[in-house]
Amino acid sequence: MIDWKITERGFYPEKIAFNGNKFLIANGYMGVRGTLEEFTKDQLVAVNMAGLYDQVGNGWRESVNAPNGFFTYLIVDEEICRLPECEPSEHSVSLDYRNGIFSRKTTWKTPRGSLTVESERFVSLAQPHLALMKYKISSNFHADIELITGIDADVWDINGPHYSNMELFEEDGLIKAIGTTSEKGHKICVTENCSINLPSEKRLSIKDKKILRHFCFILRPEHDCVIEKWISVCTSNDTENYEQKAASLINDYMKSGYKYVKNSHIEKWEERWKVSEVFIEGHKEAMEALNYSIYHLISVAPRHSKSLSIPARGLSGQVYKGAVFWDTEMFMLDFFLYTDPQVARTLIKYRIDTLDGAIRKARYYGYDGAFYAWESQETGDDACSDYNVVDVFTKRPVRTYFKDKQIHISSAIVRGIMRYIEITGDKTILDEGGAETIIECAKFYYSLLLKRLNRNVYELHDVVGPDEYHERVNNNGYTNRMAKYTFDMAVEVLSSVKNLEPETAKRLKNKYKVSQLIKSFTDASKHIYIPQPDKNGIIEQFDGYMKLEDASLEEVRSRLLDEKEYWGGANGVASHTRIIKQADVVTWLAMFPDDFPHEILLANWRYYEPRTEHGSSLSACMYGLLACRCGMPEKALPFFMKSARADLEGTGKEWAGLIYIGGTHPAAAGGAYMTAVNGFGGIYFEEEKLKAKPQLPPNWQKLRFNIYYKGKLHRVEVDQKGGVSVTREP
């Protein structure tokens, strides 16, 4: 058994940013970084909102952070008592990731005695607009206390400020902060009320973008002070009556009581864990790390919406502009397909509903079809800029090609749709725009195909594959293979038009020349160039890759003149070598292991792994998956642990120059889950049945998990000897 709690003892200012990610609480609607109640924007406090974006001037467009309704600190005997200004004698923070509850305990020594603060807070999984906190103060002396609590609207922004106006006021006992975003005038309303168990003098202040309640009282050793805070967050995207809704939520749930709301929250978490929990017998650390990863995936799932996706950094802040990447479809989707198909449908619907943005992007670059955004926001338009890296020596922006050359994103969308249909059996997604999405993605790749006069194959030139260190290459193997897959899926959909809903069939026939597209896409799939293994069984990642310098990873790293240098691009230390950022050919082989015999998979794993820097949290899981496909679960285990512990260890990059790039890694969490279930568990689907060929690492005696397949929940248990038990739940 695991204890479901992570704790850090002691206060270390250098860990503030990382702990904000490690101890994150979220409910899909909003994410609250694991910072302390007294912290401000200087400590990267954020209440990050799902699906709400803003742009100021020419700055990067990014997600919006709401005012912080948890803000609380103390003045004791007329001295401010809060971190980081006042050093504690004891301090600890904890996350109960079974129940999504963050807590802290801090003791300060004053000239007259010791004072301790204990708090717990959560964002409700039962009511997504609601957040609660209980804050207890105790002392061993008669302390003169001023407790200050309220809403801090001086919001941390990376590319802000995002509020053109902020109203702070009190009304009917509630305090409110209503912000208006700069670009589109969205309204974000944070409303707060609180109760206190001791008699006190009370007053209200509005200053420095904060609206605060002040409670003054004498705290005696025999009577602890307890306040309960009730916070609601509503926006004009939710309802026209956002202010009234925020107020009614506070008033209604305060009548129910703190304990009732907390228990309802815990019950919702238990509902999720009954399906999502994974049991590993024989490796407690692995089970803890995997379930902690699952906690983060559950936390950021947009259950409040029918069409929304998950940003690359979850809801841990504005990093990567709060945008949605291919991470969702390629690395997170399987978890939701297996444990929460409705959320999986929501993620897929987001891509279908933002098809117009992908079509606009394709038109902008002169292509046909749908070119999905590398960094997608609410409309599907690309938030990625052409200059994403700053040269550490010249301090000038460097032209990058993430936005315009990473064409493989569209194929990830197609894979997501078809994977959804495969696992759920729900083909209605095709009637709701899924069919058009697949066809438009195929049209996009078809418009990119090139044919040399002396070769009878189609090629894709001037692309960036998953390995971003080598830009503008020709015939990236992964990209070409995924384009072929897209053509095949489009042919499958077009060939079965008659089996779709009559209205859908009519719409597709009116919109497309079905027979002509089938012919074109079939020809494209047959003739697109797919790199083949050489005499040693190695697949060249792209044209000319084998002509690059074959330097070791250590040698390339030694060439850095500054630790913050970008390894890729025109002048990067890796760009003229065979060192790659992350799994590329290996991702192809992990996705399509039946493309080649076992010995080819193994040869490429062995070749590319020592040449991979793993400069992305997406990389390790693909090496873990392919190692399992190659019958090497013992070699897959370190990659699994690297993915599962991505948000526990803090080994990722937190800063790029002066830009904060830290945050949670839900794709790594999803990758860890895929490695465990698809890799070690050996899950596959054949003849409409769920099957398994397990390959457990040493010391893993049993692995048990649940999977939804075709609408039915199955319990799967595999063991070290290869035994498999699949039981369908009633």
What is the per-residue pLDDT across 473-490, written as a single tens digit (0 to 9) for each?
999 999 999 999 999 999
**In whole angstroms, what is the distance from residue 389 CA to residue 500 CA?**
46
Average pLDDT over residues 117-129: 98
What is the per-residue pLDDT across 230-241, written as a single tens digit (0 to 9) for each?
999 999 999 999
**Whole-number CA gyration radius for the chain:** 27
Residue 257 lies in a domain: no
Per-residue confidence (pLDDT) for residue 656, from 0 to 100: 67
Asked if residue 630 has pLDDT above 80, the reply is: yes
Query: Could you tell me the CA-to-CA distances from 261 to 228, 363, 399, 698 in Å, in that order?
Result: 12, 49, 50, 43
- Helix and strand counts by DSSP (H, E) for the chain: 22, 30
User: 8, 277, 440, 468: which one is catalytic?
Assistant: 468
Average pLDDT over residues 118-145: 98
User: For residue 533, how far is the Cα from the chain centroid?
Assistant: 34
Per-residue confidence (pLDDT) for residue 729, from 0 to 100: 82
**In whole angstroms, what is the distance from residue 249 CA to residue 652 CA?**
39
Give strand pairing partners of 459. Answer: 450
Per-residue confidence (pLDDT) for residue 642, from 0 to 100: 97
CATH number of 682's domain: 1.50.10.10
Residue with tokens 């084998």: 546
Termini Cα distance of the chain: 26
Average pLDDT over residues 116-138: 98
Looking at the fold, whether 238 and 290 belong to one and the same domain comes out as no
Q: Among 225, 242, 259, which residue terminates a domain?
A: 242
Asked if residue 287 has pLDDT above 70, the reply is: yes
Reading the block at residue 67, the tokens are 């005012």
Asked if residue 658 has pLDDT above 70, the reply is: no
* Residue % of the chain over a pLDDT of 70: 100
Average pLDDT over residues 153-178: 97
With the CA atoms of 135, 137, 138 and 143 taken in that order, what torsion angle do they form, in degrees rounded to the nearest 10?
-170
H/E element, 668: helix 666-674
From 194, 192, 187, select the one nearest 167 (Cα to Cα): 187
Average pLDDT over residues 426-435: 97
Q: Which amino acid is at 616?
A: S
Residue 249 lies in a domain: no
Asked if residue 42 has pLDDT above 90, the reply is: yes
**Would the pTM of this model clear 0.75, i.e. be above it?**
yes
* Beta carbons within 10 angstroms of residue 546's beta carbon: 12
3-state secondary structure of 435: helix
Looking at the fold, whether 238 and 338 belong to one and the same domain comes out as no
Average pLDDT over residues 281-302: 98
Residue 409's Cβ-side half-sphere holds a number of Cα atoms within 13 Å equal to: 26
Per-residue confidence (pLDDT) for residue 652, from 0 to 100: 73
What is the per-residue pLDDT across 344-375, written as a single tens digit (0 to 9) for each?
999 999 999 999 999 999 999 999 999 999 99
Query: Could you tell me the CA-to-CA distances from 414 to 355, 479, 588, 642 in Å, in that order?
Result: 12, 13, 15, 28
Asked if residue 518 has pLDDT above 90, the reply is: yes
Per-residue confidence (pLDDT) for residue 650, from 0 to 100: 76
What is the per-residue pLDDT across 395-410, written as a single tens digit (0 to 9) for each?
898 999 999 999 999 9
| Backbone angles phi and psi of 445, in degrees to 5 | -65, -35
3-state secondary structure of 641: helix
Asked if residue 389 has pLDDT above 90, the reply is: no
**Which residue range is the domain that position 614 belongs to?**
280-728
Looking at the fold, whether 302 and 164 belong to one and the same domain comes out as no
Q: Among 242, 262, 296, which residue terminates a domain?
A: 242
Looking at the fold, whether 378 and 502 belong to one and the same domain comes out as yes
Looking at the fold, whether 293 and 222 belong to one and the same domain comes out as no
Reading the block at residue 99, the tokens are 């129940």
**Would you call 285 a catalytic residue per the annotation?**
no
Residues in CB range of 369: below 8 A, 6 or more apart: 359, 362, 410, 439, 440, 441, 442, 443, 444, 445, 446, 447
Residue 193 lies in a domain: yes
Angle at 5 between CA 23 and CA 50, to 5 degrees: 35
Looking at the fold, whether 142 and 205 belong to one and the same domain comes out as yes
Average pLDDT over residues 200-221: 97
Looking at the fold, whether 424 and 559 belong to one and the same domain comes out as yes
More confident of the two residues 403 and 390: 403
> How high does pLDDT run on average in the chain?
96
Band of the pLDDT at 564, cuts 50, 70, 90?
confident
Q: Among 212, 242, 272, which residue terminates a domain?
A: 242
Asked if residue 653 has pLDDT above 90, the reply is: no
Looking at the fold, whether 287 and 178 belong to one and the same domain comes out as no
Band of the pLDDT at 264, cuts 50, 70, 90?
very high
Residue 335 lies in a domain: yes
Q: Phi-psi category of 133—alpha, beta or left, where left has phi over 0 and alpha has psi -120 to 50? A: beta
Residue 275 lies in a domain: no
H/E element, 262: helix 258-276
Strands 702-709 and 712-719: antiparallel
Looking at the fold, whether 233 and 288 belong to one and the same domain comes out as no
Looking at the fold, whether 695 and 602 belong to one and the same domain comes out as yes
Residue 334 lies in a domain: yes
CATH number of 160's domain: 2.70.98.40
Average pLDDT over residues 332-340: 98
Residue 391 lies in a domain: yes
Number of domains within the chain:
2
Reading the block at residue 615, the tokens are 């400069």
H/E element, 413: helix 409-424
Looking at the fold, whether 320 and 403 belong to one and the same domain comes out as yes
Residue 12 lies in a domain: yes
Looking at the fold, whether 209 and 286 belong to one and the same domain comes out as no
Band of the pLDDT at 657, cuts 50, 70, 90?
low
Average pLDDT over residues 595-616: 97
